[in-house]
Amino acid sequence: MNERQRHQYLSAMGIDSFIPRVLLPHAPAPTLCDLPVVSETPAPPLSAPVQNNPMAPPAPSQVGNMLGDMGIATDKKPVRKEPLNLYLPQPKKGVTPVHLHLWRPSNKLLIIDEHTPGAALPTDRLLASILRACRQHNIPLGEPERMRCPLNEQLAKMYSQDDLREELQAWLSEELAKQQEPELWLMGPEAAQWFVSPENVPEAFSQTQLNLTGTQRQPAIVLPSLSKLLQEPQLKQKIWPTLNGV
């Protein structure tokens, strides 16, 4: 191997220099070869950097001038238009829960009484006495069905009066559908107001007509609540004439 091949081999192997320590027998003696002479030519001078002289951007014109050039007048201030629904009367949210007791003394009678929570009054005994005197009903009364609308205080904050009236009327329609044209007593004008139209103000000891969803006009007798009759006993004398149409 001559010197040129040796350098090419070492360069290909990534070895900068190699000097053999042992000369193998019968190996040709290494000989020097003439390497090409590299002419030293001066590097070309670096050219001076070209300086960019960008044109300065034009000064921004005022917005008013730009709008004026476009034919848009700027002397008028924009007027904010509010949605029309903001000016409409919004229903008030939040109602007081209504507590009702429901009795079915017979298939032809349905009684709804306004109940005051926490009042330990013998309302069932009073109702039994009224039924014996005015309807000749001697069967003992059972426990009333209890109704509260809305179900909890959280829903009461979200309900409007229209929501409460709609739910109570739907409930009464379902209860009336369980019986064949029953006689209806609404005991308590405050509770009766949810079963009539908003413009109709029911009065105690009167008769009214209910327009409920899914039913025909339902006649009803409005009486004071059982709690009020216990607190004001003088009102009892008007019950018999009202129930018998005298």
List pLDDT tens digits, range 36-95: 666 666 666 666 555 555 565 555 556 556 666 665 555 566 666 655 555 555 555 788
Residue 163 lies in a domain: yes
Average pLDDT rounded to a whole number, residues 158-167: 88
Residue 21 covered by a domain: no
pLDDT higher than 80, residue 23: no
Which pTM does this prediction carry? 0.60
> What is the rounded average pLDDT of the residues 218-235?
93
Domain assignment present for 66: no
Amino acid, single-letter form, for residue 107: N
State which residues form the domain around 194: 98-243
- Neighbouring CB atoms inside 10 A of 175's CB total 16
- Picking from 226, 13, 228, the residue whose alpha carbon sits closest to that of residue 112 is 226
Asked, for residue 194, whether it belongs to a domain, the answer is: yes
pLDDT band at 8 (very low <50, low <70, confident <90, very high): confident
Domain count, the chain: 1
Burial call 30-40: b when 16+ CB within 10 Å, e when fewer: eeeeeeeeeee
Residue 115 lies inside a defined structural domain of this protein:
yes
Q: Does residue 223 belong to any structural domain of this protein? A: yes
Q: Dig out the tokens for 186 from the structure.
A: 């609404």
Tokens (6 digits) for 91:
């229903």
Q: Is 92 inside any structural domain?
A: no
